[in-house]
Structure 1
Amino acid sequence: MKQFVLLILMMPVVVRVSFCQDQTIKRDEKPVLQGTIKVIAKSYGDSVVLRWAPSDSWAWNKLNYTGYIIQRITLDEKDNAKKELMTPVPLKPYPLEKFKTVFKSSNTNAAIAAQCLYGRNFDMGLRKGQGAIEDEATVSDARFSYTLMVADYDAGVAMATALRFADKNVKKAGKYLYRVMPAGTVSQGRVDTGSVLVENNTTAVNAKPEIAEGIAFDHLGELHWARNGMWSGFYIERSSDGGKIFTLLNSLPFISSRPDPAALKKDSSKAKLFALLQTQHVYIDSLPKNYTNYVYRIRGINAFAEISDYSGSVTISGKDLTAPVAVNMLNPQFVSGRSIKLLWKKDFIEGDCKGYYVTRARTINGPYETLNQQILPAATTEFTDNFAFLHGGNFYIVVAADTTGNIASSVPAMGLVPDNTPPSIPVGLKGNIEKNGRVNLYWTANKEDDIKGYKVYFANAPDHVFTQVTTGPDTALQFTDSISLNTLTKEIWYKIAAVDYNNNHSEFSAAVQLKKPDIVPPTAPVATNIVVQKSGVAMDWIQSSSADAVSYTIYRAEEKQKPVPVARFKHIPGIISFHFTDTTVTPNTNLVYMARTIDEDSLQSPFSLPVMATIHHTAQRAAITTLKAFYDIKAKLIHISWQYTETGDYFFILSAAYGTDSFRPIRSFDKQKNSYNDLNPEKGITCRYTIQAIWKDDSGNTMFGQPGVVIIPQ
């Protein structure tokens, strides 16, 4: 009930209100309750009436005991002040006995005020302990609020509760400052003085409230009008004869409370109503009859117990908003061709039931179209749809309508025209794979009008079983998949199938083969058989094991220098290695050789393991030309011999090349050795041998001579 406090505090602008500032509490003082007296005033020419109210229930209780005193300060044209005490005896509420003698027992407002001041607790079921303290505070707030309310509604009650004072000793156009203050010390707190400045001019024309709108419902009417703080309550009147005779609907003033925000948190469904009640008063009236005009008008009552003139009137006519009972749909039945028969029943046909509309949709959620332009009579229980959809479902809703336009819809029922024909095979499937593994597929739409969607399938090989990727038919003409590129398979295949509304599936489309982007670099080649010759540095490179290798780049770096490319070779499938001789070397240098593989997606392998070669400045000696080799069939070995009679400190290196392999050193011998047996050679291959003399003092090595060749029989 605290909202009624505002009815006194927020009054017309015929007065100017000012309040004393709260005094600062010193540090060594104990905290006390703070309150004030709010004062308003209205001039009538021959008198000035004051109304006031304490700001809190505790202050009201204290001031009922100490009483109020009123001081008037008369201001002349020069604003000279003359102070007068208007209440030699403090104003206090009437004793209970005086209430009984002054007011008739039928005066409800006086009875409420007396009960608030002197009655027992409103609720005898108070809790104990801390709960009792809280309950008593709530009861005190209620007594305070109800007292302020009835003081607004009845001037005599306002006087009796010491909340009103009439100053009749005033002059017209006089300027007066009134101060209302406690008559004594308020224990356990402080209540500040309230003041108001009044110019006693002719009283202002009484305002009146206005109804903003009237809304009609089924046997109900709802009135809205603005909250503006001017009025403490309202009287509502209604006329059923066009405004000739009005009847008062409420004996006590009506006011609609602002909603409690805590209640909104508990029930958010009332948010719209709560928002309305923040700015509008809402009054709901029961209408005896629908379709009868009822005229409404209101009057306001302010804090001075003045009743306003009548507002303008609004007319409300209730209307039937009760829908008929919906029909019960039976299972639709296929007849033939495109015909489906609908059946329904209605247990009770209302007197105002006008008939039915039959609606149809492809899906249960609509949109629905009306099949009959003319409403079917109320006694109808069947309808035949001769143009049902051939493909997919037919969902039907029967709508019952009454004479005032209220409708009720049945539960949807589905009918089917049998369809066993699958869609045509989808065409135009194409796509691509991005480097992040995103697969983009596109295709051409089927021409059938009953296509529900498409399913997408994939396989890692064209002869594998294709697995469905999509969860169900999708109407889109494109699909995005995500795959891992770190796999052994380099391609992926996709197919699609079309699905109609009867779940018939087309045959698979032609598969589209998509190549996966290569993100794995190839393996590097491996250097072998490094030989420093007079013509340069010779070496063999074992090719990369990567299936998509395309070429190789050989790099050379001198000591402490960056490697630079010196040669490029194509990858030749089917061979193990390729040979490279670097003829651009310079004497007395240390060289490092590395190589990289390039695949068909231009990815490069890491550098191979480096190999080193040292180029010495030595003279080249003549090749050894006496090497001979023959195959001993009985011993199953190859006998190699040579003759070399040069003097000096040297040794021999024998190199061999088996089949298509390159030459590589196989043995070394001191200079006294002049033969060697190569045991268990492989059958059916060609073996080549060459020998070189290497001087230990770097004075020069022999060049490679013409190789001895032996063909091993099968």
Structure 2
Amino acid sequence: MKGFIVWACMSILTLISIKGWAQQDSALHIIHQVEGDKVFLRWAPGSPGSWLQMNENGVEIAAIQINPSSDTGGWPDFELIEARHLPWTADRFRAESVVDTVDEYTSVLGQLLHSAYGSVRMGQDVPAALTQSDELMTRYSMAMLAADLSREAAISAGMRVEYPIDTAVRVLFRLILLGDGENTVNDTSYVLVDPKISADEPPVPLLDLASEGDHTITLSWDRIYHQSHFSAFYLERSGDGGVHFQKITSRPYLSSPAEENEEIDYIYIDSVQENYHRFVYRLIGITPFAQLSAPSPGVTAMARDLSPPPRPLLTPLTFTDEGPLLVWSLNPVPTDFGGFQIEKSSAPDRGYLIVDTIYSSSRNQYIDRTYDPVFRHYRITAFDTSGNQASSLSQYVFTVDSIPPSAPAWSSGTIDSNGITTLHWHPGSEEDLKGYKLYYAYQPDHVFTVITDVPYFDTIIRFPMDLKNLSEDVYFKLVALDQSYNHSQFSEILHVKKPDRIPPDAPIFKDYDVGENEITLHWALSHSKDVSRHLLYRRDEASKEFAVVLEFSNMEFTSLVDNNLKAGTAYEYVIRAVDDDGNYSQDPDTLVLKTLSGRKLIQLVPWQVEQTDLGISISWSKAPSEHYLYRVYRQVGDFTLRRIATTTSAHFLDNPDLLEAGNYTYRYLVIDEDGRLSEFSQPIQITVVKE
């Protein structure tokens, strides 16, 4: 868009209403560049509002020389250079365009500065004001960009000047953004110019490696590094190995604000007509002074064919005498067709192996004479000359297989204290082995329940078991399956013992006899099946801790004579059971007994035994103390003498209904209040006659 366009009558002075929506809080931003005995000042307003203010009121430019050798006795006054530096007028833009001395960016600036704002016609309500604000922001952004890209545009926008300077003296420039007092602010900015510090050449930009696509080449370069030096870029391309370069686009490359917020790199995608043609790319930066950098080092890249061929159509497989027969079709056949790959696998979605490669597009059948029953999944993969591939859907080959695999063999099995069960078995030798199924039961003769519903291929498995039941043992069996789902015989049963957390039943004391220096104990053993031993503890009345008197694992050991005891001393006994997992019985039975005091044995009391109509009557003369006990024993024929009663009464009747006809022998002994025993009485024999 070269040439001057006649603008409408509405000038920038009609934008009083838009000023109220623009920001007024940004100062001028100034940079400078020294070239020999000239300094170039370049500035830009920081907001759309300050841009409008600058366009209408201009900036004041003043300077002072800072000469360390002079002694003026104080700070010198600023010397006014321009009282009101303004952008070109509309007439100036027209005149310059008539003689064709302005570039396209200068023409754009003329329209941005002096053309009418279309949004002003919308009125003064809120939606109209928002639209006017957006239009002002757009014009402001375009004006700043045009001034960056063109020296003439920056001059015409009133944002660039050049002055001669004394190369021996530093100069401090002052720019004041002028205002009319209404909705404006006067901002002041300074820049110190040292003529001894000349402008360096712009840094050389750097292109990253290019990404090669299908008819596209993606170029990228670092945003953080480049945006601190350049406002825009030119991208150039060479198709003859870097001898001649041409700009890819006629206008400089810019990125949108959205891209700047999201991308860490500048990105440009170059579309090319031909794949596999090598291009050399280079980058040229444009500084805010509209100065071009030296080209970057070249980056070579070419577009590549990434489009795969059509997917082949593989029909269901049939099994012949020679092996599986594969039949397929490919429609259409691409012009860059490369060939077909015959592939097979043990799974439908992974692990495919190449069986053979066919390079003819007209061939569409193949027999796999290397058939292995492990690999029953087949597919056809078409590829082109660029290596792009497309695979058919897989097909499964069905064969008649009635031979089951051999029964698995166990290696080991454990269950830890948390119930984690680990089982390991030896792998089967069959090539078509598909996996294993695992079963368990709590008794070897019970029905086994499956653990793995689907074939499990590994030879080691871990899973949790419930420890909160009374079964201490778990039994496992395995079956093996092949690819045709033939089941093997069950393996041998593997017996695994669970960690036992349940204590055994407690043993209890049944009877006792107390002597002067000994105590005879009788007990009933624990009924738990997993008891491995019993422990009998004792402590006397002077001790705090129990000591083990007896430890035994003989399940027929039910009594003990504890001798060498002190007469007249109390002893406490405890008996506990321990199972094969080390669990002790809870709430142990406790028995407190006292040995006899050592006094003389008490004398027997005269007694008599006779048969009456009511039974066998046993009576004694009065005992020496009312606390004495009579312990009565009876012997039937030649059987063992057994205790039948203990009583404090002077008379005892043996129930005749319990007696059979025959000879009965009776004896008794006396127990005093200290637990001392008399000797056994002489036996008295009675013959019972039944009518």
1:641 alignment partner AA:
I
Taking a change above 3 Å as real, the CA distance of residues 699 and 52 of structure 1, as seen in their structure-2 partners, is: closer
- Equivalence map 1:283-302=2 (5 Å): 283-294=268-279, 296-302=281-287
* Alpha-carbon offset, residue 232 of structure 1: 2.4
Farther off after superposition, 134-143 or 588-597: 134-143
SS at match of 1:399: strand
The residue aligned with 2:105 is 109
Partner of 1:503: 485
**Aligned partners of 2:36 and 2:198 also within 8 Å:** yes
Corresponding residue for 2:7?
A: none
1:389–1:417 contact (8 Å) kept in structure 2: no
1:329 aligns with 2:329: no
Q: 2:647 aligns with which of 654, 661, 668?
A: 668
Q: 2-side partners of 1:146 and 1:686: how far apart?
A: 137
Q: Displacement of 1:514 after TM fit?
A: 2.3
Deviates more, 1:121-130 or 1:428-437: 121-130
Give the superposition deviation at 1:536. 4.0
Kindly indicate whether the alpha-carbon contact (under 8 Å) linking 2:660 and 2:688 is maintained by their aligned counterparts in 1.
yes
CA distance in 2: counterparts of 1:706 and 1:543, whole angstroms:
35
Q: Spell out the pairing of 1:6-17 with structure 2 (5 A cutoff).
A: none
Q: Is the alpha carbon distance of 1:128 and 1:474 closer, same or farther for their aligned partners in structure 2, counting shifts above 3 Å?
A: farther
In structure 1, the partner of 2:384 is 402
Aligned residue for 1:466?
A: 448
Provide the identity percentage: 24
Report the Cα offset of residue 458 of structure 1.
0.8
**1:252 Cα shift?**
2.1
Q: Which residue of 2 aligns with 1:88?
A: 82
CA distance in 2, matches of 1:469, 1:479: 11
Which shows bigger deviation, 653-662 or 195-204?
653-662
CA displacement, residues 95-122 of structure 1 (integer Å, 9 cap, x when unaligned): 4444333445985323432444445557
Indicate if the aligned counterparts of 2:631 and 2:671 stay in contact, CA closer than 8 A.
Answer: no
1:472-528 CA-to-partner distances (Å, cap 9, x unmatched) read 322322223432334333322111111222222211101022233332222222234
Shift of 1:289: 3.3
**2:370 counterpart residue number:** 387
User: Matches of 1:616 and 1:259 in 2, distance apart?
Assistant: 105
Corresponding pairs, count: 656
Q: CA separation of 1:445/1:680 partners in 2, compared to 1, >3 Å: closer, same or farther?
A: farther
- Is 1:351 paired with 2:331? no
Provide, for residues 375-398 of structure 1, a one-character-per-residue CA deviation record: whole Å limited to 9, x for no partner.
33011211111112223x422232
Structure 1 position 439, deviation (Å): 2.7
Amino acid across the alignment from 2:435 = G
Distance (whole Å) between structure 1 residues aligned to residue 41 and residue 277 of structure 2: 46
Determine if contact 1:429/1:512 at 8 Å carries over to the other structure: no
In the TM superposition, 1:548-627 aligns within 5 A as: 548-559=530-541, 561-565=543-547, 567-568=549-550, 570=552, 578-615=558-595, 617=597, 618-623=599-604
Change (3 A) 1:429 1:646: same
Moved more, 460-469 or 647-656: 647-656
Contact (CA 8 Å) 1:36, 1:54: kept in 2 or not? yes
Distance 2:340 2:452 in 1: 42
* Maintained 8 Å contact 1:292/1:318: yes
Give yes or no for contact 1:624–1:691 (8 Å, CA) kept in 2.
no
Q: CA RMSD in A?
A: 4.2
Alignment check: 8 A CA contact 2:202 2:293 kept: yes
Gaps of 5+ in 1: 1-31, 265-273
State the partner residue of 1:166.
Answer: 162
Greater mean deviation of Cα atoms: 120-129 or 553-562: 120-129
CA drift at 1:325: 1.6
CA distance in 1, matches of 2:662, 2:117: 123
* Alignment deviations for residues 35-65 of structure 1 (CA, whole Å, 9 cap, x no partner): 3322111122242111112333343344444
Moved more, 318-327 or 638-647: 638-647
Q: Which amino acid aligns with 2:50?
A: A
Confirm or deny that 1:220 pairs with 2:200: no
Look up the match of 2:289: 304
Distance (Å, rounded) in 1 between the aligned partners of 2:122 and 2:550? 102
CA deviation profile, 1:107-146 (whole Å, cap 9, x unmatched)? 5323432444445557799999877666655444333221
Confirm or deny that 1:364 pairs with 2:341.
no
What residue is the counterpart of 1:702 in the other structure?
Answer: 678
Q: Distance in 2 between matches of 1:176 and 1:661?
A: 137
In structure 2, C-alpha distance between the alignment counterparts of 1:189 and 1:365, rounded to whole Å: 72
Q: What one-letter code is carried by the residue in structure 2 that aligns with 1:90?
A: R
Looking at structure 2, the residues matched to 125 and 211 of structure 1 have their Cα atoms a distance apart, in angstroms, of 47
Distance 1:301 1:578, change over 3 A: closer
Runs of at least 5 residues in structure 2 that lack an aligned partner in the other structure:
1-22
**How far off is 1:344 after superposition?**
0.9
Task: Tell whether the 8 Å contact from 1:40 to 1:196 is kept in structure 2 after alignment.
Answer: no
Q: Which residue of 2 aligns with 1:181?
A: 176
1:685–1:151 distance in 2 versus 1, CA, 3 Å = farther
Shift of 1:328: 1.4
- The superposition leaves residues 384-416 of structure 1 with CA deviations (integer Å, 9 ceiling, x where unpaired) of 11112223x422232222233333222222224
| 606, 621, 641: which one aligns with 2:618 | 641
Q: Bigger CA drift: 198-207 or 439-448?
A: 198-207
Aligned to 1:14: none
Cross-structure match for 1:70: 61
Q: Given residue 365 of structure 2, which amino acid in structure 1 is its aligned partner? A: E
Q: Map residues 8-47 of structure 1 onto 2, 5 A cutoff.
A: 34-47=25-38
Whether 1:56 and 2:47 are equivalent positions in the alignment is yes
3-state SS in 1 of match to 2:175: strand
**1:147 Cα shift?**
1.1
* Structure 1 residues 50 and 515, CA gap change in structure 2 (3 angstroms): same
Q: By how many angstroms is 1:155 displaced?
A: 1.9
Q: How big is the shift at 1:222? A: 3.6
Q: What residue is the counterpart of 1:17 in the other structure?
A: none
C-alpha deviation, 1:625, in angstroms:
8.7
Give 1:175 shift.
2.6
Q: Does 1:144 align with 2:143?
A: no
User: What CA distance in whole angstroms lies between the structure 2 residues aligned with 1:33 and 1:638?
Assistant: 131
Q: Pick which of 190-199 and 407-416 moved more.
A: 190-199
In the TM superposition, residue 552 of structure 1 has moved relative to its aligned partner by 3.2
Match of 2:194 among 188, 194, 198: 198
CA gap of 1:699–1:137, structure 2 versus 1, over 3 A, is closer
Deviations 1:248-278 (A, max 9, x none): 442322223465477x5xxxxxxxxx3xxx2
Shift in alpha-carbon separation, 1:679–1:336, aligned structure 2, 3 A: farther
Task: Assess if the C-alpha contact under 8 Å between 1:256 and 1:283 holds in 2.
Answer: no
Partner of 1:456: 438
Compared with structure 1, are the counterparts of its residues 53 and 525 closer, same or farther at alpha carbon in structure 2 (3 Å cutoff)?
same
Question: 1:625-660: per-residue Cα shift (whole Å, max 9, x none)?
Answer: 967588x9xx8x862535558767664423458999
CA contact (8 A) 1:34 1:190 kept: no
Matched ranges for 1:420-499 at <5 A: 420-499=402-481
2:252 is the alignment partner of 1:253: yes
1:291-341 deviations in Å (ceiling 9; x for gaps): 44555555443222234455555555444333222211111221125x111
Number of the residue aligned with 1:231: 230
Is residue 515–residue 596 contact of structure 2 (8 Å, CA) maintained in 1? no
Q: Residue 119 of structure 2 contacts residue 132 of structure 2 at CA under 8 Å; is this kept in 1? A: no
- Residues 694 and 92 (structure 1), Cα distance of their counterparts in 2 relative to 1, 3 Å cut: same
Distance in structure 2 (CA, Å) of the matches to 1:96 and 1:686: 154
Assess, with a 3 A threshold, how the Cα gap between structure 1 residues 644 and 383 changes in structure 2: closer, same or farther: same
